[in-house]
Amino acid sequence: MKLKLLRDNHPLHEIWRRFKKNKAAMLGLGLLMIILFLAIFADLLMPYEKAITQVGANRLLTPSFEHPFGTDHLGRDFAARVIHGSRYSLLIGISTSFISLIIGGLLGAFCGYYGGRFDNIVMRLMDVIMSVPPVLLSLAVVAALGANLRNLLIAITVSCIPSTVRLVRSVVISVADQDYIEAALSYNASDFRIILKYILPNAMGPIIVNTTMSIAVMILSAAGLSFIGMGVQPPAPEWGALLSEARQYMFKAPYLLYFPGIMILIAALSFNLVGDGLRDALDPKLKN
C-alpha cells in the first residue's frame, strides 16, 4: 500500500495522469507508436530486398493484395519502400532535434547563467544565423558540403540550434534566481554542477516540449530538401525522395504520391499532438 501511494504521488505519474486526459495527445501517441513499430520492425514486415529489387514486369502496378501500395516505375514494391523510409525520416527528425538540444541547450544554459560578454557574443551570433530562413540556411549548407544523408543532418541541425539556444537561455534566466540556486552556491558547488544538476532539470518542461515538436519540423524540412534533390539521394527510400521520384508519374500513378505524403502528414501530426499534450501536462498552472 505504501509503495503504491509513493508511486501514485510520483511526479511522472501525475504528468501521465494529466497527459491521458488529453484525447488528441493520446491519439498522437497512438499514431507515433504505429510509426515507431513500422520503423523498428520494418525488416520483419517487409524485407529490404523488396524495396530495392527491380522487376521490369511489375512496373507501376496499382495496389493489390500482393503489393499493398503498388509498385514504382522500376517495379519495386512501394509498401516496402514506404515502410523502410520511416527509418530515414525518424532518424533525421529525432537525431537532429536531440543534437541541437545538446549543443543549443548547453550554449543557452551558459548564456543564461553567466550573461555578460559571453552571452552577448553568442546571442549576436545566433541572431545572425536566425536572420537567414532555416530552409535557405539548410540549402546553403547542403550546397556547400554536398547532398547526402550526413550533410543533411548537419544542415538541419545547424538551422535548429539558434531557436534552441534562445529558448533554453530564457528558461535558465528565470530559474537561475531561485532560492535553491542560492543554496547550492552557499555550499561552494561548481558552476557546471549547478547548471547540470539544479538548473537544467528544473527547466526541462519547456525544453522537452520544444524538442518534441521540433521533430515534426525536422521531418518536414528533410522531406522538403529531399524532394528538391538536396537531401537523401536515391535509391534510399526516404519519404521526401519518394515524392520527388513520383512527380513525373503523378497523373499515371497518383498512389505513388499518396502513401509517402500521408506518412509524412501522420508523422508530423503525431509529434505535434504529443508535444501539445506534454505542454499541457508539464504546465504547473494546470496542477490540481
In the chain, the number of structural domains is 1
Kindly state whether residue 205 falls inside one of the protein's structural domains.
yes
Looking at residue 9, what is its pLDDT?
58
Range of the domain at 271: 32-283
CATH of the domain at 100: 1.10.3720.10
Share of the chain above pLDDT 70, in %: 93
What is the pLDDT at residue 284? Answer: 53
Q: Is the pLDDT of residue 8 over 60?
A: no
Listed in sequence order, the residues at least 6 apart from 204 whose beta carbon sits closer than 8 Å to its beta carbon are: none
d(CA 52, CA 78) in angstroms, rounded, equals: 10
Looking at the domain assignment, is residue 8 inside a domain?
Answer: no
Distance of alpha carbon 65 from alpha carbon 52, whole angstroms: 19
Q: Which pLDDT tens digit goes with each residue over 191-240?
A: 777 777 777 777 777 888 888 888 888 888 888 888 888 888 878 888 98
pLDDT of residue 3: 43
On whether residue 72 sits in a domain, the answer given is yes
Between 172 and 191, the more confident residue is: 172
The pLDDT of residue 146 is 84
Please report whether residue 17 resides in a domain.
Answer: no
Q: Are 39 and 90 in contact (CB under 8 A)?
A: yes
Q: Grid coordinates representing 151?
A: 550533410
Which pLDDT band holds residue 39 (cuts at 50, 70, 90)? very high
Total-model pTM: 0.83
Position 85 in a domain: yes
Once rounded to an integer, what is the mean pLDDT over residues 24-37? 93
CA nearest neighbour of 195 among 117, 107, 121, 99: 107
Burial class (CB in 10 A: 0-12, 13-18, 19+), 140: middle
Q: Does position 288 have pLDDT exceeding 50, yes or no?
A: no
Question: Which of 36-50, 57-71, 178-192 is predicted with the least confidence, judged by mean pLDDT?
Answer: 178-192
Select the more confidently predicted residue: 175 or 255. 255
pLDDT of 183 > 80? The answer is no
- Check whether 63 has a pLDDT greater than 50: yes
Name the pLDDT band for 80 (thresholds 50, 70, 90).
very high
Inside any domain, residue 267: yes
Give the pLDDT score at 18. 83
Task: Using pLDDT thresholds of 50, 70 and 90, give the confidence band for residue 81.
Answer: very high
118-139 per-position pLDDT tens digit:
889 999 999 988 888 888 888 8
What average pLDDT does range 73-77 have in this prediction? 89
The CA radius of gyration of the chain, in Å to the nearest whole number, is 22
Whether residue 180 lies inside any domain: the answer is yes
In the predicted model, is pLDDT for residue 6 greater than 50? Answer: no
In a domain, 42, yes or no: yes
What confidence tier does 285 reach under pLDDT thresholds 50, 70, 90? low
Q: Are 81 and 237 in contact (CB under 8 A)?
A: yes
